[in-house]
Each structure stands twice: as structure tokens, then as C-alpha cells.
Amino acid sequence: MRDVFHRFAHRVSDRMGSPWAFFAAVAVIVAWAVTGPVFGYSDTWQLYINTGTTIATFLMVFLIQNTQNRDAKAIHLKLDELLRGVKGARTSLVHLEEWTDDELSQLADQFERLRHRIHRSPHGAKPPSDAVQNVRHQRPA
């Protein structure tokens, strides 16, 4: 059941993100707007578009969220594999998504300082080894 839903969600997300889906949505809106005078811009005429767009939006939220969750998980696994495979990489970053916002901000500040040190080095030379070591620790204090 889960695999069927994943395949379905992926296909729907791909198709709904295509230019054809956009043009189809525009065509529906244009057709709805053109029929306004025919139906006297009645409440029923407005109810059709409101109900249709509400249902479509409600269902698409779940399909898109499912697809984004799967994509994010796949990206995390790929990055984790790279962290494990690169010599000198900090494997403590494998669980970065579990860090608090404050810890992430501190780490971002450390990388920003490192970036400035690298930028100030002549010809973009590697920073002094102490700069790299200062950033290579388990978690910000």
C-alpha cells in the first residue's frame, strides 16, 4: 500500500509540476471566467470554482509533502554517505538535522568566519590549519 501511494504521489507531483498542468489550470480558470455572464455570476457559479480549487489544494498539500519528505530523506542519506566517505570530513555533521537552531546558527557563524579567513588569504589559498581545526569539533558549545 505504501509503495503504491509513493509511486502515485511521485507521478502526480511530476505531472502537476509540468507546464501542461499549468496551462490546463489556466484554461479551466478562463473557461470559468467566460461562463460567468452566462450564469449571471451567480453564487453557484462561484461555488464551483471555490469548491474545486479547495479540494485540489487540500489533496495536493499531502501529495507534495510526501514527495518532499522522500526527497529530503534521500538527500540526507546521500550527504551522509559523502560525509562518511570523505577523509577529514566531520562525521558529527551526519546528524545535523537533529541540532537545535542555536547550534546550527553557531556552526553557520563558524563557517562564515572560516569563509572570511579564506577570502582574505592571498589568491584564495587554503586557510591556516588552525582555522580548519577551530571549525572541526563535535558541536558548538
Higher pLDDT, 51 or 87: 51
Provide the 10 A C-beta neighbour count for residue 134. Answer: 14
Higher pLDDT, 43 or 123: 43
Q: Is the distance from CB of 97 to CB of 76 less than 8 angstroms? A: yes
The SS3 assignment for 141 reads: coil
Q: What is the pLDDT of residues 17-66, one digit of tens each?
A: 899 999 999 999 999 999 999 999 999 999 999 999 999 999 999 999 99
Q: Is the distance from CB of 114 to CB of 127 less than 8 angstroms? A: yes
Q: Read off the DSSP letter of residue 128.
A: P
Say which residues have a Cβ less than 8 Å from residue 13's Cβ, sequence separation at least 6. Answer: 63, 64, 67
The pTM score is 0.61
% of the chain exceeding 90 in pLDDT: 48
What is the pLDDT of the chain when averaged over all its residues? 85
